[in-house]
Amino acid sequence: MGRPVIGIIGNSYLLNDQYPVHAGGVMNSTAVAEVSGCMPMLVPSCPDLVSVGELMDCCDGFLLTGGRPNVHPEEYGEAETPAHGEFDRARDKVVLELVRACVAVGQPVFGICRGFQEVNVAMGGTLYPEIRDLPGRMNHRMPPDGTMEEKFELRHDVRFTKGGVFHGVMGAEVVRTNTLHGQGIKTAGQRIVVDGHAEDGTPEAIYVEGAAGFTLAVQWHPEYEAAKDPVSRPLFEAFGAAARDWAAGARPTAVARAV
pLDDT at 87 exceeding the cut of 80: yes
Give the span between the Cα atoms of 119 and 123, in whole angstroms: 6
The confidence score (pLDDT) of residue 92 equals: 96
Residue 208 confidence (pLDDT) above 80: yes
Cα–Cα dist 112/25, whole Å? 12
The structure's pTM equals: 0.94
Could you tell me which residue, 134 or 54, shows the higher pLDDT?
Answer: 54
pLDDT classification of 81: cutoffs 50, 70, 90: confident
**Helix pair angle (232-247, 26-34), 10° resolution:** 70
Query: Which residue type, as a one-letter code, is found at position 166?
Result: F
Return the pLDDT at 1.
66
Helices (H) and strands (E) in the chain — how many of each? 8, 13
